[in-house]
Amino acid sequence: MEASANRTNTRPVAFLKKDSLMTRLRKNMSSRWQLYLLMLLPIIYLIIFKYVPMYGAIIAFKNYIPTKGIWGSEWVGLKYFYRFFESYEFVRIMQNTLLLSFYSLVAGFPFPIILALSLNYVNSRFFKKSVQMITYAPHFISVVVMVGIVLQMMDPRIGLINTLMRYIGLPTINFMGMPEWFSHIFVWSGIWQNVGFSCIVYLAALAAVDPALHEASVVDGANKIQRMWHIDVPGIMPVAIILLIMNTGHVLDVGFEKILLLQNPLNTSASEVIDTFVYKVGLASTAINYSYSAAIGLFKSVINLVLLVLVNRIAKKAGQTSLW
């Protein structure tokens, strides 16, 4: 009897708690409806362009034929995944993708931090603003224009670099025709284009560092290098860790448009990556295979997700800032 009485007594309490929660939510939404309205637009965008297309990932497990539709096509399971893993191009494509990705990550990660730390100690306001404008500007150049600039600079006949090399007596080099130069051109042109824009986040993090710490360190006789290392770097480290985790989640995304525009028959052995291969298989090939390209794209997304979760867990175990 007591147990049944307890069960009957707990039900109203649970319903009351749920009702009070809904009441508070309704009051909160009615009082701050403008914020919820602003939040509605990005939510709709995520649902339409991020979650709804996940339905189409089913074709990676089917022999998709457009006339039959997704559900009418034959189910083939992991056939196209095995086809990609067993293809002779798999090793080369993965090597190129990982090389370009980790090269970009390792080479490009410290430069925005160094630029932000340097600008933070510049006393001349005019010089600081000029450097910021000059370094930010390339970010707003479109990929097509930027690739055009790179190709003109690297041209073996009229390019600026080869012209200077001829002037000092060195032989000219067909940079875009030599596979060993492709990764360097791709990575360092990307650093040049994005380093200024990327340092904005670190400048904002440096602005949040307590000035009293710098004042105390100056009194103790610390120079600028010591203040950078012991005050500024620990202050921006949480932001750097978060950005590193997020960049790791895009390891297999190395910039489809830029690579495709820089690619030519002479450097394909070093420039063929997952994204360009998916494009060629799924759209540019005479024998279009939607299921095969979808399987490769799904494989890439799963690997990115696994790396994101893994690096986030490592950062959390190490006592650093994490995404969740």
- pLDDT on residue 191: 92
Which pLDDT tens digit goes with each residue over 180-209? 999 999 999 999 999 988 888 898 888 888
Q: State the average pLDDT over residues 30-45.
A: 87
- pLDDT on residue 30: 81
- Name residues whose C-beta falls within 8 Å of residue 141's C-beta, 6 or more positions apart in sequence: 149, 193
Q: State the average pLDDT over residues 149-158.
A: 89
Query: Dihedral sign, CA of 44, 49, 54, 56?
Result: positive
- pLDDT on residue 254: 83
309, with CB counted inside 10 A (0-12, 13-18, 19+), is: middle
Give the residue extent of every domain in the chain: 1-31, 35-77, 88-317
**Token code pair at residue 209:** 């560092």
pTM of the model: 0.81
Cβ atoms within 10 Å, residue 322: 17
- Identify the weakest region by mean pLDDT among 42-51, 126-135, 242-251: 242-251
Classify 88-317 by CATH class.
mainly alpha
- Name residues whose C-beta falls within 8 Å of residue 29's C-beta, 6 or more positions apart in sequence: 36
Q: State the average pLDDT over residues 205-234.
A: 86
- pLDDT on residue 19: 63
The candidate with the shortest Cα–Cα distance to 201, out of 137, 105, 136, 140, is: 136
**Token code pair at residue 308:** 């994101």
- pLDDT on residue 95: 92
Q: State the average pLDDT over residues 2-22.
A: 54
Check whether 83 has a pLDDT greater than 50: yes
Q: What is the average pLDDT score of the chain?
A: 85
Check whether 285 has a pLDDT greater than 80: no
252, with CB counted inside 10 A (0-12, 13-18, 19+), is: buried
